[in-house]
Structure 1
C-alpha cells in the first residue's frame, strides 16, 4: 500500500476526537478535548508523579538483513489557541477601562498537523548505535484589531515545542530483531501552573502516533505472531501505543503504532465520504444528526472551527446516491464452528 493511502488511515487516528458531534465548541462534550495520544512535557509529568505520560514507546519485531532499511514517521497535533475579545467602542474612547471589556467572544484550540520523518535508516547501523532525531517546532503569534461599532481584537497563538525521537534495535533470533522507538516531550514550561491542564496542552504532542515502513524486510504481527516468536512478541513493551500491521491484507512492510487499539490491517470503509472525527461512530448516523441541527447551531458551526465547517458543508451537499451508500454493508460471511451439534451459525464481517 502506498504511503498516501496509509496516511488516510493514520489521519483518522490523528483527528479522532478532534471535535465531536454536534461540532459546536459550546457543547459540553467538546469542553474536555484532546484525550488521545497526549505526550505531555516532562516537567509537567514530574509534578504529576508521571501519571501523565511524557514518553511514548513502540516496540515490535521484524525480519531483516544487512540491506534492510527503515523509515519512521512521527505525527501529532500541535495546538493553536484562537481568542477573540470584543470591546465597547464608546467606553474605550472615554477611558472607562473598567467597562471597556464587554465580553470574551470566543476562545478555542485548533490542531496543526506536525510530522517528523527519519528516512533511510539502515538496520545494520541501528544495531551498532541508536538514531536520534530532534522534534522542534516554533510557535507563532498573530494578532489583529478591527474597529466599527465595537472594537474586536483577535489573536492566534502557538507555543514552541521540542522533544526527541530515539530509535534502536537488538537481535532476538536469527534474522529477527526487536525495534524500539521512543518519543519524548522535553518542552520546558515557563510560568505555567501545573494544575492548569488546558494550558499545558499547548506545550504537548496531541494524538501522537508513528508510521513504520521497511524495505528488504518485513514486520511481524504482535497480535498473531508466528509460534516461534510468541515469547519475544509478548516481551515487547508498548507504552501508550498499539502497533498493528497496515496496508493490504497480507502485506508486512508497514505498521501503524496508534494510541487507539486497532486490529491488524485497519481500513476506512469505501462508502465513507470523509472524516467525522469519530471512527467509532457510523457515518450514516452522524450525517443524520448533522441534518437535525438548528439554523442557530449551524451558524455557530460555520463561524467556528474550519474542519468542522467542512463537515457541515459536505453533509449539506450530499447527494441522495451518496447518502444511500452509507447504509450498512456485509463484506463477507465467515463460517464458525456450531456451538451445539445440529446448529449452524455465521459470523458477519462488516
Structure 2
C-alpha cells in the first residue's frame, strides 16, 4: 500500500472541488455566527460515530459503497477517504498577574472570539492492485489526540489565547472485488469505511461527546489506472440487473470528473448526479447549498459591523464568507441572478405562445372542463368545501380547511394531474384575484361539492 501518485492526485483534482462542497456543506450557516440557533446543531451529513453511539440516534458507525468496475490486467485502485475531524476550540483571556482563564467571549479589534468546534480536514490514502476475487484488503488507521495553543496579541501585548483540542479517532477501510457472473469482465467492488474508536464515555454523555471521536462528512474518492467504473445511476442496459444488486449504505456513488470519463468515482452521503460540477457563476463557498447564492451574498453583505466581527471570530471560513460578500463586484453579483445552461427549439406551437399555454392545446378548456368528484361533475361555477390534504406543504392552505369556495377553472398540468382553481367565498379581495387571474389551487380529493339550495 502506497500513497497516491501525482497522476491520481491530478485525476482527483476536479472531483475534489465537488468533494469539498460535500465535505463542508452546512459547516457554518448564515448569519455565520456561533450564536445563531441554526449553528448550534452541527455536522448533519455523513457522520460516522463510534460503535454503539448511534443505536438510539439513527446515526451510524459505518458506510458501505458498492459499484461495478471494468478493470484491466495489472490495474491499480486508488482510494482516498476524506472527512472532517472535530476540533474543540476554547477561548481564554490573559490575567493581569499572568496565566489565563476560560471566557465565553473575547473581543478583538477585528473579531469577537467565542468557543467553537472547528473542522480539520483529514485524508486517508492508499494505492493497491485491484483485489483478486479471494483477496480482502484491510487498512486500519489511527489519528492521535492532540492540542495546539495560539497566543493572541494586540499591539504586541498578549491578551488571550485559543486552545484547540482533538480527540483520538480510529477506523478501518475494507476492500473486496468479486467477478460478476456473465459474459462481461466486470467486478463488483465493495469498500466499507468503519469507525472503530473505542468509547471513552457513555452514550448518555450525548452527541457532542461522540462527535469528538467521529468521522464527519465522510466520503470516498475511488480511481482506476486504466479501467473504468459503471454508472450506478444510469448503467448500460446489460449491467442493470447487476447494478440493482449493489448495496450502498449511508452513501451513494456517482461518476466524477469531466463528462465522458469514468475512471473516478465519488461516493458521498449527499446524493448527486453523475459528473457533478460547480456552477461557473459561483464566486466561492457559502456552505449552504439549500439557499440561493445571490440572496446569501446580499444578506451577508447587509450584516451589521458587530455581526460581521462575530462571524469572523466564529471561524476562519465564516470570515472568508464575510470578506467575499463585502468585496464582490457588481458584475459578479449580477451573474448570481441566473444563468441559461442550454436552449432547444420548440416546434408545433402557435406563434407567440409558449408550449405550456393551455390556449395552445385545443383539448384544454379550463372554463368548461369538468372533473368527477364523488360521482358528480365539478367545474367552473361549482361551490365546494375545501379540505386541504395533509400532504400539502403550504401551511396557508390548512387555514382554509372547512371554508367554502367557488371553482373558477379546471386545469391540467403537463404531468397529467388535475387542479381546481378557486376563490374563497367571503374573501373581500376575491374580485381582485379573479381579475388578475390569481387563484388558490386544490386537487379534486381536497374538496367536497356543496349541495345546491
TM-score range relative to shorter protein? 0.7 to 0.9
The aligned residue for residue 266 of structure 1 is 276
Scaled by the length of structure 1, the TM-score of the pair is 0.86
CA distance in 2, matches of 1:208, 1:146: 33
Q: 1:225 to 1:150 in 2, by over 3 A?
A: closer
Higher RCO (Cα < 8 Å, 6 or more apart): 1
Rounded to whole Å, the distance in 1 between the matches of 2:57 and 2:31 is: 34
For residues 232 and 62 of structure 1, the distance between their equivalents in structure 2, rounded to whole angstroms, comes to 11
Q: TM-score w.r.t. structure 2 length?
A: 0.67
Look up the SS of the partner of 1:251 in the other structure: coil
Residue 215 (structure 2) pairs with residue 205 (structure 1): yes
Whose Rg is larger? Answer: 2
Contact 1:81 1:157 in 2 (8 A): yes
Pairing partner for 2:338 from 304, 328, 349: 328
Q: Is contact 1:212-1:254 (8 Å) kept?
A: yes
Aligned residues: 334
CA contact 1:63–1:175 (8 Å) conserved in 2 = yes
Distance 1:155 1:248, change over 3 A: same
CA–CA separation in structure 2 for the residues paired with 1:35 and 1:251: 31
Kindly report which structure 2 residues correspond to 1:51-130, keeping only aligned pairs within 5 A, or say none: 51-86=58-93, 103-105=103-105, 106-119=114-127, 121-123=128-130, 125-130=131-136
CA RMSD, 1 decimal = 3.0
Aligned to 2:163: 155
User: In 2, Cα distance between the equivalents of 1:11 and 1:167?
Assistant: 24
Given that 1:212 and 1:255 are in contact with CA atoms closer than 8 Å, whether structure 2 keeps it comes out as: yes
User: Does the aligned pair in 1 maintain the 2:78–2:223 contact within 8 Å?
Assistant: yes
- Which residue does 2:420 correspond to in 1? none
Judge conservation of contact 2:75–2:226 (CA < 8 Å) in 1.
Answer: yes
Question: Within 1, Cα distance between the matches of 2:141 and 2:228?
Answer: 27
C-alpha distance in structure 2 between counterparts of 1:85 and 1:193, whole Å: 29
Task: Answer yes or no: is the 8 Å Cα contact 2:91–2:102 preserved in 1.
Answer: no
In the other structure, the counterpart of 1:279 is 289
Q: What secondary structure is seen at the aligned counterpart in 2 of 1:157?
A: strand
Q: 2:246 is matched with which residue?
A: 236
Deviation at 1:208, TM superposition (A): 0.4
Supply the distance in 1 between the matched residues of 2:347 and 2:138 (Cα, whole angstroms).
50
Q: Distance between the aligned counterparts of 1:66 and 1:49, measured in 2? A: 46
Matched, 1:131 2:137: yes
Contact 1:87 1:102 in 2 (8 A): no
Partner residue, 2:21: 12
Closer, same or farther: CA 291–186 of 1 in aligned 2, 3 Å: same
Determine whether 1:171 maps to 2:179: yes
1:42 is matched with which residue?
51
Alpha-carbon offset, residue 284 of structure 1 = 1.4
Query: How far, CA to CA, are the matches of 1:8 and 1:147 in structure 2?
Result: 35
Query: What residue in structure 2 maps to residue 315 of structure 1?
Result: 325
CA distance in 2, matches of 1:134, 1:269: 37
Superimposed CA distance per residue, residues 277-302 of structure 1 (whole angstroms, 9 cap, x where no aligned partner): 12233221211111121111011112
Cα pair distance change 1:18/1:331, threshold 3 Å: same
Which residues of structure 1 form unaligned runs of 5+?
94-99
CA distance in 2, matches of 1:324, 1:112: 33
- Determine which structure has the larger strand proportion and give its number: 1
Instruction: Tell me the CA shift for residue 128 of structure 1.
Output: 3.0
> 1:261: Cα distance to partner?
1.0
Q: Show CA shifts across 1:217-243 (max 9, x none).
A: 111111111112111111111110010
Shift, 1:135, TM fit: 2.1
Give the structure 2 partner of residue 32 of structure 1. Answer: 41
1: CA distance between counterparts of 2:95 and 2:87? 27
Q: CA deviation at 1:54?
A: 0.4
Aligned 8 A contact 1:9 1:267 in 2? yes
Q: Any idea what SS the aligned residue of 1:59 has?
A: strand
The 8 Å contact of residues 153 and 159 in structure 2, kept in 1 or not, is answered as yes
Q: How far apart, in 2, do the equivalents of 1:323 and 1:278 lie?
A: 17
